[in-house]
A = this chain, B = another copy of it.
Amino acid sequence: MANKLSSPRIGIFGATGAVGKIVCQLLESRELPYHSIRFFGSPENSLSRKREIRFCGQLYPVEPLIEERVHDLDLVVASTPDEVARESAPWVVRQGGIFIDESAAHRMYADVPLVIPEVNSDAVFNHKGIIASPNCSTTQMVICLKPLHDAFGLKRVVVSTYQAASGAGQAALDELLTGTRAAVNGETHLNKCFESPLPLNLWPKIGGMRDEGYTSEELKMVGETRKIMDLPDLPVCPTCVRVPVANCHSESIVVETERPADIGRAREVLAAFPGIVVMDEPGQARLPTPLNCSGRDEVFVGRLRRDISVANGVAFWCVSDNLRKGAATNAVQIAECLVRQATR
Chain A residues with CB under 8 Å of chain B are 156-158, 160, 162, 177, 180-181, 184-185, 195-197, 200-205, 209, 212-215, 222, 235-237, 239, 241, 243-246, 250, 252, 254, 263, 282-283, 285, 287-291, 302-310, 313, 315, 317
Q: Which A-B residue pairs are the 5 nearest by beta carbons?
A: A213-B305, A235-B309, A160-B160, A237-B309, A160-B252
Cβ–Cβ contact A309 & B204, under 8 A: no
Which B residues touch A243, using CB under 8 A? 162, 202, 243-244
Cβ–Cβ contact B310 & A235, under 8 A: yes
Which B residues touch A288, using CB under 8 A? 204
Q: Main SS of the interface on chain A? A: mixed
For the complex formed, measure the closest distance between the CB of A317 and the CB atoms of chain B, giving whole angstroms. 4
Which B residues touch A308, using CB under 8 A? 212, 214, 222, 235-237
Cβ–Cβ contact B158 & A309, under 8 A: yes
For the complex formed, measure the closest distance between the CB of A210 and the CB atoms of chain B, giving whole angstroms. 10
A200-B180, A204-B302, A236-B309 known; A285 and B195 CB under 8 Å? yes
30 contacts between A and B (CB under 8 A): A157-B309, A158-B309, A160-B252, A162-B162, A162-B202, A180-B184, A180-B200, A181-B185, A184-B184, A195-B285, A196-B289, A201-B289, A201-B291, A202-B243, A202-B245, A203-B289, A204-B252, A205-B282, A205-B285, A205-B287, A205-B303, A213-B282, A213-B303, A213-B304, A213-B306, A214-B305, A237-B254, A237-B309, A237-B315, A241-B252
Measured CA separation A177–B203 after assembly (Å): 20
Cβ–Cβ contact B310 & A156, under 8 A: yes
Cβ–Cβ contact B197 & A291, under 8 A: yes
Cβ–Cβ contact A239 & B317, under 8 A: yes
| Nearest neighbor of A177 in chain B, beta-carbon distance | B184
Which of B202, B209, B263, B287 lies in contact with A282, CB distance below 8 A? B209
